[in-house]
Amino acid sequence: MLEIRDLHAAVAGEPILKGLNLTVNAGEVHAIMGPNGSGKSTLANVLAGKDNYEITGGDALFEGKSLADLEPEERAQLGLFLAFQYPVEIPGVSNMEFLKAALEATRKAQGKEEWDSVTLLRKARETCKQVDLDPQFLKRGVNEGFSGGEKKRNEIMQMLLMEPKLALLDETDSGLDIDALQTVARGVNSLRSPERGIVLVTHYQRLLDYIVPDFVHVLSNGQIIKSGGKELAHELEEHGYGWLTGDRNDGKDQSA
Amino acid sequence: MSTQAELDKVISSEYEAGFTTLVESDTLPPGLNEDVIRVISAKKGEPEWLLEWRLDAYRNWLEMAEPNWAHVTYPPVDLNAISYYSAPKSMEDRPQSLDEVDPELLDTYKKLGIPLHEQEMLAGVAVDAVFDSVSVGTTFKAKLAEAGVIFCSISEAVHEHPELVKKYLGSVVPKGDNFFAGLNSAVFTDGSFVYIPKGVRCPMELSTYFRINEANTGQFERTLIVADEGSYVSYLEGCTAPQRDENQLHAAVVELVALPGAEIKYSTVQNWYPGDKDGKGGIYNFVTKRGVAHDNAKISWTQVETGSAITWKYPSVVLRGDNSVGEFYSVALTRHAQQADTGTKMIHLGKNTRSTIVSKGISAGKSSNAYRGLVRMGPRAENARNFTQCDSLLLGDTCGAHTFPYIESKHPSATIEHEATTSKVSDDQLFLCRQRGIDPEKAISMIVNGFCKEVFKELPMEFAVEAGKLLEVSLEGAVG
């Protein structure tokens, strides 16, 4: 599904990813962990196609297509979804309007049946409940005046409705209290399926108590330096990133 | 088109003999003098007092200078190169109903998306359509007459309701008010007239579509709306003009009179041809719009402006009566080489008067977009309040947004609040939309629409939809 080969990428000209390799198959959940500045968020943004995040070497293939050749909206239409670390506000554009535009564009491109307004509204309301968001949020501007936790749940709500093939979650757990974390985890877990790949980018092991990954990778200085099963996350929790990076100060107590 | 040009040439040459005889042609040759005004007045069969009024305006206007304070630049307009009267050929004998209207004319309206017949049925909107200078079709007259509402062309009103026209014409915008209003007073050819009797709530939205058709024809409409005590009316004005290389002048005057306890809601969607991307062609829209609100009356202007090469327009409210209310909601979008200098004036004279100004300016391309607003609290304006919000949104970095607020307060108890913001469509907003599969043009249009929402919600439903679509069309290619 996702095949990353010796990927090099730069942000505003500065090299961040330096030869990253990763394969995600359908049905798998991967966790990408690593200290601050290791390139975790860069990886997510490069895959989604953010401006100024430039692939300078290697390749990332999604469903056999090179992502470098695709505009961000084309990647989304193929079924790649990024849940943002800091979801931005779009004042005056209602969540519902936004969802309608997003779902029209992606479902059409994926040859899925288009939903009429009634169906869309019903599904959106159900999905809101699933992530403990008051359906009133559908009428509000996208993320406008939402609390940090509400923004994250709004991202998950969008993800559930859009049913992506590959979901990238960029530090979705940051800034969430334990209840919200569980809600978000429930949402992500409900999306697990044999057809779908999920990549969790996180600083902390905490999220992985609720979304148990099949694979854990440790990213440092733009490369994956260790991969393993879910137990790797526990080892990291115990020893800190310094255990792998060789930097004692880069330990588990470092704030996010 | 070329046959039309030929025709114009023939007509012009016929005119070389002078103006002493009334000719059969429909378009006067270019140029302005007292004889031209006499011809216009005679063609319309106007009473003596109106001719005198026009001539007085003209003589006054000759002494006036074109204003140059606006934040716009353009080569001087040669007012003698303009024809001051033009009527579609087949309109010599006014049709009595829509069935008698030239099908080609109606077809033009259809292309503009305003099929009169359908509009009659679907929207329940009475349309007084102005094609160049002559009103071609007025609908729903019967139903309006039942309520006692008068809705007709101003030429018709001059004949049918002379006492009302005489009383209120020029009462809000005097004929010597400003250069363009003075010109309009001298040469106005048609426009709409509305009278709502005491205590009557107008049973439907009234609507006029203006359209400049013939090349080199200035359009000078004159609209007068009088809402008698305790009445209510919502009036919609839409404007479209075809594409031409020459610049065309449009100098309209709109006067609103809201007598005690009355409410007038005036909505405009203006998409006159803005010129091409290099600034060639387009309409010069130099318009004077003003309303007077008496005791407990309310006047609300809502405008969505996407057209015209140059816009010079300040719909204003004189809050003459105590407890009167004035509102101005505006969206002005400029792109390519468009220039807009637009805003409002709220003149608070009475006690406890309140006004609200919400202005949203969107600039793209190499355009320049200025908000100019005046809030004046008079010496009697006890407890008067104003709230102003001016937001500018920039698309790209070659456009300009400017805000020129003027505040004058002569009463210590008056409250004036002014908020202003300038923002850009952020890369992050755009990326969020695109990451959800939405293409950039649609995304920009959605973000801009969201930015304008506070104004759009003031528009009647069908207009709000049209305004949204208009923005979408206008923003095509704005992403670069």
Supply the ipTM of this predicted assembly.
Answer: 0.93
Q: Give the integer Cα–Cα distance in Å for B131 and B139.
A: 15
Q: Give the integer Cα–Cα distance in Å for B30 and B15.
A: 10
Q: Does A76 reach chain B within 8 Å, measured CB to CB?
A: yes
Whether residue B154 lies inside any domain: the answer is yes
- Amino acid identity, residue A195? E
Whether residue B330 lies inside any domain: the answer is yes
Partner residue facing A93 (CB), from B434, B437, B447: B447
Domain total in chain B: 1
How much is the pLDDT for B140?
64
Q: Does B442 reach chain A within 8 Å, measured CB to CB?
A: yes
Q: Which residue of A has its CA nearest to B434?
A: A73
Q: How far is A103 from chain B (nearest CA, A)?
A: 8
Contact flag A101-B446 (C-beta cutoff 8 Å): yes
Q: Does B427 reach chain A within 8 Å, measured CB to CB?
A: yes
Q: What angle do the packed helices A148-162 and A178-191 form, to 10 degrees?
A: 10
Q: How far is B3 from chain A (nearest CA, A)?
A: 47
Whether residue B477 lies inside any domain: the answer is no
Whether residue B188 lies inside any domain: the answer is yes
Q: Does A90 reach chain B within 8 Å, measured CB to CB?
A: yes
Q: Give the integer Cα–Cα distance in Å for A167 and A163.
A: 9
Supply the range of the domain harboring residue B399. Answer: 20-426
Contact flag A72-B435 (C-beta cutoff 8 Å): yes
Tokens of B318: 């004189």
Q: How far is A51 from chain B (nearest CA, A)?
A: 8
Whether residue B8 lies inside any domain: the answer is no
Q: What angle do the packed helices A117-130 and A148-162 form, to 10 degrees?
A: 130
Q: Does A53 reach chain B within 8 Å, measured CB to CB?
A: no
* Residues 6+ positions from B391 with CB-CB distance below 8 Å: B359, B360, B361, B420, B421, B422, B423, B451
* pLDDT tens figures, A230-255: 999 888 888 888 887 766 544 444 44
Q: Is A64 left (phi over 0), alpha (psi -120 to 50) or beta?
A: left
Please list every residue in chain B whose beta carbon sits closer than 8 Å to the beta carbon of residue A49.
434-435
Q: Give the integer Cα–Cα distance in Å for A113 and B196.
A: 52
Partner residue facing B447 (CB), from A48, A84, A90: A90
Contact flag A50-B437 (C-beta cutoff 8 Å): no
Please give the distance of CA A233 from its chain centroid, rounded to a whole number. 18
The CB-side HSE value for B71 (13 A sphere, CA atoms) comes to 18
Tokens of A127: 């999905």
Q: Does B431 reach chain A within 8 Å, measured CB to CB?
A: yes
| Tens digit of each residue's pLDDT, chain B (480 residues) | 344 444 344 333 332 322 323 334 467 778 888 988 998 898 888 999 999 999 999 999 999 888 888 787 877 777 887 777 766 544 444 445 555 555 655 554 555 555 454 444 333 344 555 554 444 444 466 678 889 999 888 888 999 999 999 999 999 999 889 999 999 999 998 888 999 999 999 988 887 654 444 444 457 889 999 999 999 999 988 755 555 556 678 889 999 999 999 999 999 887 777 777 777 777 788 899 999 999 999 999 999 888 778 888 999 999 999 999 999 999 988 888 888 888 999 999 999 999 999 999 888 888 888 899 999 999 999 999 999 999 988 887 888 888 889 999 999 999 999 988 888 788 899 999 999 999 988 898 899 888 888 888 888 776 777 777 777 767 766 554
Q: How far is B359 from chain A (nearest CA, A)?
A: 15
Whether residue B10 lies inside any domain: the answer is no
Q: How far is A232 from chain B (nearest CA, A)?
A: 31
Three-state DSSP string of chain A: CEEEEEEEEEECCEEEEEEEEEEECCCCEEEEECCCCCCHHHHHHHHHCCCCEEEEEEEEEECCEEHHHCCHHHHHHHCEEEECCCCCCEEEEEHHHHHHHHHHHHHHHCCCCCCCHHHHHHHHHHHHHHCCCCHHHHCCEECCCCCHHHHHHHHHHHHHHHCCCEEEEECCCCCCCHHHHHHHHHHHHHHCCCCCEEEEEECCCHHHHCCCCCEEEEEECCEEEEEECCHHHHHHHHHCCHHHHCCCCCCCCCCC
Whether residue B194 lies inside any domain: the answer is yes
Under-70 pLDDT residues of chain A: 246-256
Contact flag A73-B431 (C-beta cutoff 8 Å): no
Whether residue B320 lies inside any domain: the answer is yes
Name which of A70, A93, A114 to mutate to probe chain B: the one with the most chain B Cβ atoms within 10 A of its Cβ.
A93
Q: How far is A247 from chain B (nearest CA, A)?
A: 34
Place of tokens 């079924």: A79
Contact flag B437-A71 (C-beta cutoff 8 Å): no
Name which of B423, B434, B458 to mutate to probe chain A: the one with the most chain A Cβ atoms within 10 A of its Cβ.
B434
